[in-house]
Amino acid sequence: MKKSTAARERQDRNPVPVEVAGLSKNYGSQTVLTDISLSIKPNEIFVIMGPSGSGKSVLLRQIAGLETPTAGTVRIAGLDPANPETRARFALALVFQSGALFNSLSVYENLALYPLEHRLCPKRHIRDRVMRALQILSLEAAAQKFPSELSGGMKKRVAIARALVMEPQLILYDEPTSELDPVMSATIGEIIATLKQEFQVTSIVVSHDRDLTLTIADRVAILMQGKLLTVCTPAELRETKDPAIADFLNPQIDLKNPRYKQLEVTT
Amino acid sequence: MKQLNSILEGIGSAVLLTVRSFTMLPAAPRIIRRVVEQAFIGGYTSLPIVSILSFFIGGVLALQAGISMQSIGTKELIGTLVGESLVRELGPMIVAILVAGRVGSAITAELASMRVYNEVDALVTMNIPPERFLVLPRLIAVLLFMPVLTMIGIVVGWIGGCVVCKFVSFIDLAPEQYFQSLRAYLTAEHMFDGLLKAEIFGFCVVLIACTIGLRTSGGPREIGNSVTRSVVTSLITIIVLDFVLTKILA
């Protein structure tokens, strides 16, 4: 793919490394994450995978600096992500599971908000930047629509476009393919991989989508019950001998499971 | 004990939010458009309901006063009673109660829903402080529209009282007499006291609405709970503050 103007403009802005050291998170007496340590390289697609409720999204919120860990540290290029000065220095974008688009703003306004608020460039250039992001995500026709008028897949793409306008050095994706059909999931996967190649950005993806993970990840971390089981490459993950991970990746549907006997009695 | 903790926590959050918001004042030129928008939403669109309510409050006051004062031969002073009551007490309070129910509830609902659906978190990750983007424009807007709204409410209330005095047969007070007695005792100081009260009430209502909205957590059900809490807290605050301010300004 030919490098766009945006990519050329951003060449001096390098992707950033992320270090998570001994991170634990409790909510009251409930422990959600226990002693997580990760080292994510610049320009890497790092997927955090695990079953629902394993603490993936909570870990992502700690990395984004939206919550303070109970113990341990998160560092983005050596700096605390919770500090607004870090965010001012390194553009960090988080693509939320719900999209988290501003409902009172049109798609165009959602995308233009960041450069407008930070006065990054003249309004004419902001327009070019927004339209370029919409074009990359094939969303030009939706520019004047409001989030309530969009489908789930479009909302996700708008959320990614909004992140793209920020020209981030780090993008965090929270379940980017949840609630999407397989075709749209594949499209989102392609977009994440393309953004890495084209825009040189470190990507951390939280997902329980096996196909997406094995396709786009440079490395994968498996999180279960708040603990980090392993960090490996997709190829290593396919060959795993760990029964918990293998069960998670290749679940067997057993209709003769004794659990279902109860259903027969009650119906 | 738990409730006391929660109240103190709420007051602490409101104070912090005020401080954080006003430290963003240097960015005020950047938020002018949003201030105007909020002033329009909160002030201009509240005008019809404020006018209707004030007209009838003024009318009821004149009617009640007329019944008693006519019997003791002091109906010429109805204008004074209606005028002073509206300026010093009822005008600011009625407008504040309306703003709490109409504007405060809408602010809490909007901010709480933004909180629940991660929009506030999205602002934080974009390094756009919610205090600058969401709170400060609303606080400045209420400080701008509250005195105007109150002033209009007071004047419309006076007119309501005048209409009742003129057209209710057993009162039958000429508008000239009504406004003459209204002017006789009303001073600029009274007006200042009333508008000061309105400013403080309005500021507190919006601050409470923003604080409760931004502290909302959990699911969509919490949005409704937050709105209820915001309106109830605002109403109690208005009444308590009214007592304190009346004592101080007396």
Chain B hits for A93, Cβ within 8 Å: 125-126
Q: With an 8 Å Cβ cutoff, are A100 and B121 in contact?
A: yes
Return the DSSP state at A138: T
What is the pLDDT at residue A11?
Answer: 42
* Residue ranges in chain B modelled with pLDDT below 70: none
Question: How confident is residue A10, by pLDDT bands cut at 50, 70 and 90?
Answer: very low
Tokens, residue B159: 């007119």
- For B126, the closest of A98, A101, A166 (CB atoms) is A166
Please tell me chain A's helix, strand, coil percentages from 3-state DSSP, rounded to the nearest 5: 40, 20, 35
What is the pLDDT at residue B194?
Answer: 94
ipTM of the complex: 0.84
Residue ranges covered by each domain of chain A: 5-91+167-266
- For B127, the closest of A88, A102, A103 (CB atoms) is A88
Q: Cα dist. B56→A69, B86, B173 in Å?
A: 57, 12, 18
Chain B hits for A166, Cβ within 8 Å: 126
Determine contact: A103 vs chain B, CB below 8 A: yes
What is the pLDDT at residue A113?
Answer: 93
In chain B, which among 80-99 make CB contacts under 8 A with chain A? none
Question: How confident is residue A85, by pLDDT bands cut at 50, 70 and 90?
Answer: confident
Determine contact: A100 vs chain B, CB below 8 A: yes
pLDDT at A3 over 60: no
Question: How confident is residue A67, by pLDDT bands cut at 50, 70 and 90?
Answer: very high
pLDDT at A150 over 70: yes
Tell me the pLDDT tens digit for each residue of A17-35. 999 999 999 999 999 999 9
pLDDT at A5 over 50: no
Residue ranges covered by each domain of chain B: 30-249
Determine contact: B133 vs chain A, CB below 8 A: yes
What is the pLDDT at residue A59?
Answer: 95
pLDDT at A6 over 60: no
Q: With an 8 Å Cβ cutoff, are B125 and A88 in contact?
A: no
Q: With an 8 Å Cβ cutoff, are A102 and B122 in contact?
A: yes
What is the pLDDT at residue A266?
Answer: 60
Q: Three-state DSSP class for A167?
A: coil
Min Cα separation B122/chain A (Å): 7
Q: Using alpha carbons, select from B141, B148, B156, B119 the residue that is nearest to residue B41.
A: B141
Is A5-91+167-266 a domain of CATH 3.40.50.1860? no
Cα distance between residue A95 and residue A212, in whole Å = 16
Determine contact: B118 vs chain A, CB below 8 A: yes
Cα distance between residue A105 and residue B45, in whole Å = 20
Tokens, residue B7: 């109240």
Cα distance between residue B65 and residue B89, in whole Å = 16
- For A98, the closest of B110, B118, B125 (CB atoms) is B118
Min Cα separation A88/chain B (Å): 7
**C-alpha count within 13 angstroms, C-beta hemisphere, residue A165:** 35
Question: How confident is residue A265, by pLDDT bands cut at 50, 70 and 90?
Answer: low
